[in-house]
Structure 1
């Protein structure tokens, strides 16, 4: 299965029986990101978290605690 990274447009080939290929085939809303882009985003996110200015907003907060 040929896939294209949504960020850098790099085309890669996946094994048809791999779990990621099955996920992409069965749920078209899911997108593929190459390992280089995934690692780059992971490093930058960890760097932002370590600054202390990064705030993660969760949607699982009950409404009475939100106000």
Structure 2
């Protein structure tokens, strides 16, 4: 094992900004070929497949049912 290389990589990672560390973490642990949530949302909005919901009546209000307790 190359301990010097590992130590150098750790120093580089610690020198990154929080945003850069988040991007690195995303690439290392979550990068996949699956579409992201943002991609799916953009597709749903652009495809207008849910436009019919704009014409649906509002059946519920904040006054309906029992309140949900906050911890």
Query: Highest CA radius of gyration, 1 or 2?
Result: 2
- Identify the structure with bigger relative contact order (alpha carbons < 8 Å, sequence gap 6+): 1
**Normalised TM-score (structure 1):** 0.35
**Normalised TM-score (structure 2):** 0.33
Greater strand content: 1
Greater helix content: 2
